[in-house]
Chains A and B, each alone.
Chain A
C-alpha cells in the first residue's frame, strides 16, 4: 500500500501549545501535501512539500520531509481552539497523479 499513516491518531493539547503530527509512507513520492478537515466538512489544503525539499513554513505551520525515512511531520505552533480538526497527509507517489491519504490525526485544542 502506498498510503500514509499518521501518528498519533488523536492529540489533545492546551491552547498556546505546539502540536506535532507525523506521517509515514511506503513508496517514493513526488510531493507530500497536508490537508485539514473540520468534522464532516471539506478538505482544506495547508501546505505542499516537494521530494527535493526538507522543510517548509507557512504562517504557524512548519512541515518537514525526510525521504530517506519516508516520513513527514506537521508542526502547528501556538495552537488555537480553531485549529481543532483532523489533519491528513497525502502523498503523490512518483509516476502517479492521484493522492494517497493517510488515516489522519484528530487534533483537539482545549481553550
Chain B
C-alpha cells in the first residue's frame, strides 16, 4: 500500500541553524500538508500546498518557514533560523483531492533544537 515517507526520522540542530525536512507524498496525490506536534500537545496545521503554491497557512507558519516541491516527488519544509520552540514532531500529509478526502500522514520527523 502506498504511503507517505519522511526523512530524516530525527534531526538535532543548533538554534539559529536552517533545517530542511523532506517528504515524499503518495504518488497520485495532489494536495500536500505540513503539521506539527509539540511534545504532549495537539497536532497543529502549518500549511497546505497545491499546484506549486501555498493554499492555506496557519499563524504558526511565519516568514521563518517555507515549503517547496523541488521536483515531481519531494515536498520540503524549510525552517530558516530555528528556535528552541520549533522543537516538535513534524508530519507531512497528502491527499488525493481537496477537502473531502482522507489525509495520509507520514511517520514524522522529530526535530530537536538545542
Q: Which residues of A contact B (CB under 8 A)?
A: 3, 30-31, 33, 35, 40-45, 48, 50, 88, 90, 92, 96-104
Q: A42-B91, A102-B42 are in contact. Are A97 and B106 (CB under 8 A)?
A: no
Known A41-B107, A42-B91; contact A99-B45, beta-carbon cutoff 8 A: yes
Segment of B12-20, B74-82, B94-102 in the binding face: B94-102
Grouping DSSP codes into helix (H, G, I), strand (E, B) and loop, the A interface class, with mixed when no group exceeds half, is: strand
Give A3's nearest chain B residue, CB to CB. B42
Return A56 CB to nearest CB of chain B, in Å.
12
Report chain B residues within 8 Å CB of A30: 99-100
The answer to whether residues A97 and B31 also contact, given A33-B103, A45-B104 and a CB cut-off of 8 A, is: yes
Partner of B42, one of A42, A92, A97, A101: A101
* Assembled-state Cα–Cα distance A74/B58 (Å): 28
In the complex, A12 Cα to B100 Cα: how many Å?
33
